[in-house]
Amino acid sequence: MGKGKTVKHLIDKEWCKGCGICIHFCPKNVLEFNKQGKAKAARPEDCIACKLCELRCPDLAIQIIEEPGSRK
Amino acid sequence: MTKQAFNFKDYIRPRFFPHIWCPGCGHGIVLGSLLRAVHELGLNKNEIVITSGIGCSSRISGYVDFHSLHTIHGRALSFATGVKLSKPSLKAIVPMGDGDALAIGGNHFIHAARRNIDITAIVMNNRIYGMTGGQFSPLSGSGKKATTAPYSTIDRSFDVVELAKSAGATFVARSTVYHANECKDLIKKGISHKGFSVVEILTQCPTYYGRKNKEGDAIQMMESYKTNTVKIGSKKLEKNPNLIQRGVFVENTDIPEYCEAYDKIIETAMKGKA
């Protein structure tokens, strides 16, 4: 987690095709499949906002939004 | 950062999403890199024209919110040449598949390179014809399997970089979708370069190429780009010369750009007439 920042994962479930690229390449193991086989942020508190998922998502379905403000 | 943060929704036509590409197809990553490159260059959407031919990769022209032309198979570069000559102020970008660029449009490709017209050709090399059902392409390489080569191909493959270099392209680079950031940087350089730029991007087709050649799913294919490629001149090449090199191979600014040279001809021809 970036210092004093919260990270929001906007994942478009309609656009996601469940290829799993984001899940595989996430260095902090933040993402996983939901019941429909689409990506979801299961552990957003571990996210360091490296944006590798956003960069490599072939469906442009992920947006990472960093917001200032500390997290518990 | 004073510039507005990147949001791809500013650059696409969302009504066409989700796109038609298969789950795990690398073309979407190339699209993302292209949009990021355009954003970082701070280009106006109205000064870009995307011209594409036929194939999976050529669908890009429909997804981006720039001027776009979806033209005939292999001839995207010819259409882009026409557009560029009539309006040299536009940035011409041509996303092409490997077959579109080097089989059907092979002739147009080498002649556009020879002319050194200011067009950026993005060759998305997935080594197969995906849209039409997995026929082998001139980049499949020998010993690879495809729908039309169930007992493996015998044709050798082109090397896009070598071909573009010898045809006279003044900017030649290669990257892969695994290296999405590098890919964005090379597209940026290609767009900024004045002259014919070729950016080859290795991208996976898990549906046909991966499945036929038992290269696994999209993730495994992307991992293979990590292990099978190195930066130009890396020491790893001494041990394994078969590794694919990534980076900028040619960057030549000495050769005159075609539109400028053409304007000079017009100027010369008009002398004495006035």
Cβ–Cβ below 8 Å for B218 and A55? no
What number is the average pLDDT over the span A14-38?
A: 93
pLDDT in tens, B195-231: 999 999 999 999 999 999 999 999 999 999 999 999 9
**Nearest C-alpha neighbor of B110 from the set B163, B174, B175, B180:** B163
> How many Cβ atoms are within 10 Å of B153's Cβ, its own excluded?
17
Three-state DSSP class for B274? coil
| Close Cβ partners of B210 (under 8 Å, ≥ 6 residues apart) | B204, B216, B217, B218, B220, B221
Q: How far apart are the C-alpha atoms of B94 and B88, rounded to whole Å?
A: 15
Q: Which two tokens stand for residue B131?
A: 């849209």
Three-state DSSP class for B148? coil
Q: What is the pLDDT of residue B252?
A: 92
Chain B CB contacts of A56 under 8 Å are 29, 32, 177-178, 180, 222
Cβ–Cβ below 8 Å for B219 and A24? yes
What number is the average pLDDT over the span B1-30?
A: 88
Q: What are phi and psi of B200, to 5 degrees?
A: -90, 130
Q: If interface means Cβ-Cβ distance under 8 Å, which residues of chain B face chain A?
A: 7-8, 12, 17-19, 21-29, 31-32, 36, 177-178, 180-181, 206, 217-219, 222
Q: How far apart are the C-alpha atoms of B157 and B269, rounded to whole Å?
A: 44
For B12-270, which CATH class?
Answer: alpha beta
Q: How far apart are the C-alpha atoms of B105 and B138, rounded to whole Å?
A: 11
pLDDT band of A72, cuts 50, 70, 90: very low
**Which chain A residue lies closest to B226 (C-alpha atoms)?**
A25
Cβ–Cβ below 8 Å for A55 and B22? no
CB B165 within 8 A of CB B249: yes
Q: Is B96 a residue whose pLDDT tops 90?
A: yes
Q: Which two tokens stand for residue B85?
A: 């000559």
Three-state DSSP class for B17? coil
Q: What are phi and psi of A15, to 5 degrees?
A: -85, -30
Q: What are phi and psi of B230, to 5 degrees?
A: -140, 165
**Which chain B residue lies closest to A26 (C-alpha atoms)?**
B219
Q: How far apart are the C-alpha atoms of B170 and B160, rounded to whole Å?
A: 14
pLDDT in tens, A35-63: 999 999 999 889 998 999 999 999 999 99
Average pLDDT, chain B: 93
pLDDT band of B56, cuts 50, 70, 90: very high
**Nearest C-alpha neighbor of B164 from the set B156, B174, B155, B150:** B174
pLDDT band of A66, cuts 50, 70, 90: confident
CA terminus-to-terminus distance, chain B: 51
Torsion of CA B258, B264, B268, B270, to 10 degrees: 100
Strand spans (E) along B126-195: 128-129, 135-136, 171-176
Q: Which two tokens stand for residue B154?
A: 């015998």
Q: pTM surpassing 0.90?
A: yes
Put simply, whether A10 touches B (Cβ < 8 Å) is no
What is the number of structural domains in chain A? 1
Q: Is B161 a residue whose pLDDT tops 60?
A: yes
Q: How far apart are the C-alpha atoms of A17 and A26, rounded to whole Å?
A: 17
Q: What is the pLDDT of residue A71?
A: 52
Q: How far apart are the C-alpha atoms of B175 and B153, rounded to whole Å?
A: 25
pLDDT band of A4, cuts 50, 70, 90: low
Residue type, B13: R
Beta-carbon pairs below 8 A across chains A and B: 62
Three-state DSSP class for B135? strand
Domain ranges of chain B: 12-270
Q: Which two tokens stand for residue B268?
A: 């010369």
Domain span at A19:
5-68
Q: What is the CATH number of the domain that holds A48?
A: 3.30.70.20
> Sign (positive/negative) of CA torsion A18, B9, B180, B83?
positive
DSSP per-residue string spanning chain A = --TTEEEEEEE-TTT-----HHHHH-TT--EEE-TTS-EEES-GGG-----HHHHH-TT--EEEEEEES---
More reliable by pLDDT, A69 or B55: B55
pLDDT in tens, B99-113: 999 999 999 999 999
